[in-house]
Each structure stands twice: as structure tokens, then as C-alpha cells.
Amino acid sequence: MIYSRTCQYAVWALLELAREQGSDGKGWVKAEQIAQNLGLPFPMTAKVLQMLVHAHILDSVRGPTGGFRLRIPPEKIRLLDVVLAIDGPELFERCALGLPTCDEENPCPVHNCWVPIRDQLRELFSKTTVAELLKAWSPQVVKRVAESFRPI
């Protein structure tokens, strides 16, 4: 896995929210519904949704008619935005071996191989949008996600 499990849940939750919200973008979706559809624990789902609210990717409203919805269209939400919101920029800065000092002057044994891969990942994540991922996010995929879920 390239990013954290929490980030993986955030991507899944965003995709499910976008699917449930519909094309008009006006519907509010409950965290409980997203968690249930994906087979994820509610506390983790609520946590990642709030992280996405703080990152200005989602809006939220409390109350019986409230829930969550996309703040911006899925075509404008990049996978990079989600990764940065949940995992921070460290994925694109840290050493592949976890060494505290690893740079051009003090490279680790895999530094020269990791830097181009890391840069390609950043480029891929910056070009990939939620709308593109949503094209493959069918009820069958959701079912496979729910069936494969393993608690942290």
C-alpha cells in the first residue's frame, strides 16, 4: 500500500459519498450510511470524513437532515488533495527506508531509485481525480470493498 489505511478509507468514503450524493450534488449523506455501505467501522468513517471537512474537500451539517457532501465537484478533487489531507506531505518527502536523514548529500541505499518513483506517484496523484476513480466505483466494487474489509 502506498498510503496509509486511513487514507485508503478516506478515498473509499469520498467515492461512496460522491456516488450516493448523485449527479446534482445537492444531497447530504450520513456517515452511518457510508460506513454501512462500505462495511467500515463508523468511528473511523466519521474521523476521515471530518478530516476531509477540515481540508475543505467536504461540507458537513449536523442534525437529522444533515450529513456530508462534496464541497467541490469530483472533477476538481485530485487524489493528491486527499493524500495530503490525510497523510500529509511526508509521503513525498520521507526516506523509503525511514531514515531521519536521507537526501542528495546523505542518500540511503535506495534513495536514487525511490526519488523518481516518488515523483511519478506525486504526478499520478495530481492528475487523477475523484471523477475518474468514480467511473469504476460500482456497487460491485463497493461490495468487494465491504467483503474484504479487515479492521485496523
Domain containing residue 10:
5-148
Express each pLDDT in 55-100 by its tens digit. 999 999 998 888 999 999 999 999 999 999 999 988 888 888 889 8
Given this model, what pLDDT does residue 129 score? Answer: 95
Domain with 140 in it: what CATH number?
A: 1.10.10.10
The rounded distance, in Å, linking the Cα atoms of 139 and 73 is 21
Inter-CA distances, 79 with 21, 41, 65, 102, 108, Å: 19, 22, 29, 26, 28
pTM for the model stands at 0.85
User: Above 80 in pLDDT, residue 146?
Assistant: no
**What distance in Å separates the CA atoms of residue 92 and residue 119, rounded to the nearest whole number?**
7
> 76: closest CA among 122, 128, 124, 26?
128
| H or E segment and range at residue 140 | helix 139-148
pLDDT (0 to 100) of residue 23: 52
Number of domains in the chain: 1
